[in-house]
Amino acid sequence: MNVKKRKGSFSIGLIFGLLILTLDQITKWWIVTEIMNPPRHIPVFPSFNLVMGWNRGVSFGIFDSSSPPNQWLLISIALVIVTILLIWLWRSESRIISLALGIIIGGAIGNVVDRIHYGAVADFLDFYLGDFHWPAFNIADAGITIGVIILVLESFFVGSENNKN
C-alpha cells in the first residue's frame, strides 16, 4: 500500500466529509431557528418547497425511534457504520472512493448530531412532480445518497476496469 497516496485519499475524504457535515448543520440551524420559526410551507419554485419535517426513523421514516431506547439504537448503529466507513476510508488509495466515503460519513454524522440534539432528523427539502412528493430530506441525506451512487458507479466502471487489468 502506498502510504503517501493513502494519506492523500484520506485527506480528501475528511475534507469532503467536513464540508457536507458543515453545510448540513448550517442549513439545518438556519431552517430550524430562522426560516421555519414558526413552521410553514415555503414555495421556492415550481416542484420545490421548503417544509419542516422531523424524521424519527431512518429513510422515509422507517423504524420510528420515538422511544429513547430506539433513538439510541439508531445512533449506535449509525456510529458503528461510520467507524467501519472510516476504516475503509483510511485503507483506500482511490480518490473517488475516498470522496464518496467522506460525503457518506459527513452525512451520517450530520444526522447523528440531529438525533442527539433534537431527538429526530430535521428534513426540509421537498421536491415534487404534480401530486407525487418525494419524502422531504436534507443535505446529509443528499450526501449519503450521492456518496452511495458514486461508490456503485465506481464499482461498475472503474472497478470493472481494474479487474480486467
Measured CA to CA, the distance from residue 32 to residue 21 in angstroms comes to 16
Which of 24, 114, 123, 126 is catalytic? The answer is 123
Which of 24, 114, 126, 141 is catalytic? The answer is 141
The verdict on whether 64 is a catalytic residue reads no
Is residue 128 within 8 A of residue 134, CB to CB? The reply is yes
H or E element in which residue 125 lies: strand 121-129
**What contacts 20, CB < 8 A, 6 or more positions away?**
102, 103, 106, 107, 110, 139, 140, 143
Measured CA to CA, the distance from residue 132 to residue 120 in angstroms comes to 24
Give the catalytic positions in this structure: 123, 141
